């Protein structure tokens, strides 16, 4: 085995300048795949970490002896949400909430760093006056979902009004006082939803990355196949050929994996700035851990080696056919049948289907597109060759017939990204759904027995704060009878309508009303819906991230495979130049063999992506989704054309001396 490894290393080093260039392309492809796979892995672990860090604010009632009582409600400042947590110890030695050094004493106030900074920046009447009391300290990262999160933990006595009030009628996200045995809590539905979205986004990114990584093993495949076929003809056994192939592929892929890992960690500070779920990320969120990094760094070279071995069947079985450059047999229609079988499963998706089933079907759809791609390219090659009226068209058609897999590798990245664009484009929320509006009426539910008292206190507080507002009560319960069924029937709600509708006036009114009803904050209709709008905005941000990653992979794939294709076919190009074929015709043939499959398979992948998204679509495609699709199509075509143009100097270089040289 050591001799075979040594021979593989010598062959790798002795490939000459163009051989080293081909190996460099493989290293670059693997580096891109590794870096983006690390990002995908880290993103899923980061969402899981966020869900765990925020779980303590979703308390679970104690089944045995309770050690503390906890209540949570939401407040707002500058149109940003504040999470207010009131806690009281029921027994000595109660555990401290996550992120706090100790359990807060009654009257102590602990602020997150972002909230402390905002309180120091804004006038006290807008924020700081809401949290009187002794400063207890800062909440650490373990108690925060993200660095910009606004959280306050207030120590209370067990009998404090904030911990004895009932649940708010209008507080969609408020949690009534709950006796707890610890601060473990449980993940919120929102956090679980983000994890599911992250998993689906991972499939949309990882499958093209795996395809790209596997294709990296097939770069400069023609040159390697010729060399290995020659070794088979002089007596090398199939096992020796496989071992040398794996060794060569793993050596180059390992170098690419190391390079991709280094590049990922260099770019980590930029990745932490992506704002989703209300804020950016801690640097630690983007660190997957030592074992996952090592596992990925080992898995990528193994994948590349496996892909290289899969492509050796012709060399092992028929080395003479490879040496003579015989056209391989056409692929079978069973590939199309596999795609149709996967698409038949799509209508069964939707509500009630487990996330594992959804992820599996989407992954199979991706792989089926990649499986059927070479078959479609071969069919297109026959059509183009039969209808060609110019030399460039004939050359392009013959090339697609002779090696449809190589032609597909050049456009597969962009075509698979078309599936992502079609899937996301149909689900992308429109701009009109991303704004909560300008509702400025503050509302807070009040106990029926204290309506008059609280109304008078509200007017007095607002006047003292210099806030001009109209104070009314809606939903006041009236005496039983037909007249009690008017629109005002129901739980009483205090409504404050500031005459000035700017954000500062609204914040001063919130501060003036703070504590008016223990355990509840005055909110607007826009506040109640803000989390839903945030999710829609995050979906849009995720769309941008997924498409950006996908198109980076696609364009890198197109550029690398285009250059590799020239190196593979340099002898063919040299012979064509000897025969008098102009360089312009060769360039036109290369563009045709790229753009024709891209147009057909790219459009087909977009249609398949939209079909797969139909079970999850709430309505027909909006203008935003249509624009997303058009932009994606434009970027895809422009990227492939640019990749082809960038490799033109290499084509000119390999045909500068048209005399063919042996490998």
| pLDDT band at residue 329 under the 50/70/90 scheme | low
Q: What is the pLDDT of residues 368-381, one digit of tens each?
A: 998 899 999 999 99
Residue 96: φ, ψ to 5°: -75, 145
Q: What is the pLDDT of residues 192-239, one digit of tens each?
A: 888 888 888 888 777 777 767 666 655 555 455 556 666 666 666 666
pLDDT value, residue 54:
93
| pLDDT band at residue 478 under the 50/70/90 scheme | very low
Question: In what side-by-side order are the strands of the sheet with 442-445?
Answer: 442-445, 493-498, 469-474
Highest mean predicted confidence (pLDDT) among 308-322, 439-453, 495-509, 540-554: 495-509
Per-residue pLDDT, averaged over 69-98, amounts to 92
Of 361-370, 511-520, 521-530, where does mean pLDDT reach its minimum?
Answer: 521-530
Burial class (CB in 10 A: 0-12, 13-18, 19+), 627: middle
pLDDT beyond 80 at 385: yes
Mean residue pLDDT of the chain comes to: 80
Q: What is the pLDDT of residues 151-200, one digit of tens each?
A: 999 999 998 988 887 655 444 567 889 999 999 999 988 888 888 888 88
In this structure, how many other beta carbons lie within 10 angstroms of the beta carbon of residue 630?
12
The residue with greater pLDDT, 148 or 136, is 148
Of 32-36, 581-585, 646-650, where does mean pLDDT reach its minimum?
Answer: 646-650
User: Cβ(578)–Cβ(620) under 8 Å?
Assistant: no
Q: What is the pLDDT of residues 438-463, one digit of tens each?
A: 567 888 888 888 889 999 999 999 99
User: Cβ(477)–Cβ(486) under 8 Å?
Assistant: no
pTM for this entry: 0.76
pLDDT value, residue 178:
92
Per-residue pLDDT, averaged over 411-430, amounts to 76
pLDDT value, residue 449:
85
pLDDT beyond 50 at 87: yes
pLDDT beyond 60 at 316: no
Give one word for 491, left, alpha or beta, with left for phi > 0 and alpha for psi -120 to 50.
beta
pLDDT beyond 90 at 530: no
The residue with greater pLDDT, 661 or 64, is 64
Report how far apart, in Å, the C-alpha atoms of 23 and of each of 12, 74, 210, 224, 658 are.
Answer: 8, 57, 19, 11, 23
Report how far apart, in Å, the C-alpha atoms of 48 and of each of 200, 474, 642 are.
Answer: 14, 42, 39
pLDDT beyond 70 at 474: yes
């Amino acid at each position: 085995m050591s001799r075979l490894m040594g021979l593989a290393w010598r062959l790798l080093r002795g490939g000459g300048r163009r051989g080293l260039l081909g190996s460099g392309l493989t290293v670059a492809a693997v580096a891109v795949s590794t870096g983006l796979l690390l990002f995908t892995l880290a993103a899923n672990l980061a969402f899981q970490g966020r869900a765990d860090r925020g779980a303590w604010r979703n308390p679970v009632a104690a089944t045995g002896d309770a050690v503390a009582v906890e209540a949570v409600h939401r407040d707002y400042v500058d149109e940003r949400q504040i999470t207010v947590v009131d806690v009281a110890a029921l027994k000595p030695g109660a555990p401290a909430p996550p992120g706090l050094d100790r359990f807060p004493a009654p009257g102590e106030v602990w602020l997150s760093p972002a909230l402390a900074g905002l309180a120091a920046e804004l006038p006290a009447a807008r924020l700081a006056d809401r949290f009187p009391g002794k400063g207890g300290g800062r909440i650490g990262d373990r108690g925060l979902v993200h660095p910009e999160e606004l959280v306050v933990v207030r120590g209370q006595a067990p009998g404090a009004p904030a911990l004895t009030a009932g649940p708010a009628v209008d507080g969609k996200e408020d949690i009534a006082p709950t006796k707890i045995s610890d601060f473990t809590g449980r993940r919120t539905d929102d956090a679980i939803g983000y994890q599911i979205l992250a998993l689906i986004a991972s499939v949309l990114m990882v499958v093209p990355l795996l395809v790209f990584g596997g294709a990296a093993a097939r770069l400069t495949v023609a040159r390697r196949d010729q060399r290995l076929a020659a070794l088979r003809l002089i007596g090398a056994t199939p096992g020796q050929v496989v071992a040398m192939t794996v060794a060569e592929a793993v050596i180059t892929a390992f170098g690419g994996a190391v390079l991709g890992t280094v590049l990922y960690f260099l770019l980590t500070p930029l990745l932490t700035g992506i704002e989703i779920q209300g804020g950016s990320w801690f640097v630690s969120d983007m660190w997957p851990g030592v074992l996952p990094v090592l596992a990925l760094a080992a898995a990528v070279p193994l994948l590349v080696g496996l892909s290289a071995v899969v492509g050796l069947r012709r060399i092992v079985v028929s080395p003479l056919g490879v040496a003579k450059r015989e056209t391989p047999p056409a692929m079978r229609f069973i590939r199309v049948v596999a795609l149709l079988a996967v698409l038949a499963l799509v209508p069964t998706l939707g509500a009630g289907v487990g996330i594992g089933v959804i992820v599996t079907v989407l992954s199979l759809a991706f792989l089926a597109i990649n499986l059927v791609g070479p078959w479609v390219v071969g069919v297109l090659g026959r059509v183009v060759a039969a209808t060609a009226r110019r030399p460039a068209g004939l050359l392009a058609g013959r090339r697609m017939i002779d090696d449809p897999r190589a032609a597909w590798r050049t456009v597969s990245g962009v075509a698979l990204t078309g599936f992502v664009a079609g899937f996301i484009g149909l689900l992308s929320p429109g701009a009109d759904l991303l704004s909560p509006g300008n509702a400025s009426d503050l509302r807070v539910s009040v106990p029926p027995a204290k309506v008059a008292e609280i109304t008078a206190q509200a007017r007095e507080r607002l006047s003292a704060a210099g806030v001009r507002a109209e104070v009314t009560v809606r939903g006041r319960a009236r005496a039983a009878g037909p007249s009690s069924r008017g629109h005002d029937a129901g739980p009483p709600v205090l409504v404050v309508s500031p005459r000035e509708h700017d954000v500062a006036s609204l914040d001063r009114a919130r501060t003036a009303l703070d504590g008016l009803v223990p355990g509840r904050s005055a909110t607007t209709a826009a506040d109640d819906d803000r989390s839903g709008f945030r999710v829609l905005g995050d979906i849009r941000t995720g769309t941008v991230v997924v498409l950006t990653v996908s198109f980076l992979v696609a364009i890198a794939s197109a550029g690398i495979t285009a250059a590799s294709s020239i190196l593979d076919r340099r002898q063919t190009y040299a012979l064509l130049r000897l025969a008098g074929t102009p360089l312009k015709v060769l360039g036109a043939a290369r563009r045709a063999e790229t753009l024709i499959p891209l147009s057909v398979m790219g459009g087909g992948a977009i249609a398949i992506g939209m079909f797969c998204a139909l079970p999850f679509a709430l309505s027909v495609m909006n203008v935003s989704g249509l624009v997303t699709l058009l932009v994606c199509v434009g970027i895809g075509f422009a990227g492939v054309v640019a990749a082809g143009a960038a490799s033109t100097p290499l084509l000119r270089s390999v045909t500068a001396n048209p005399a063919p040289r042996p490998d």
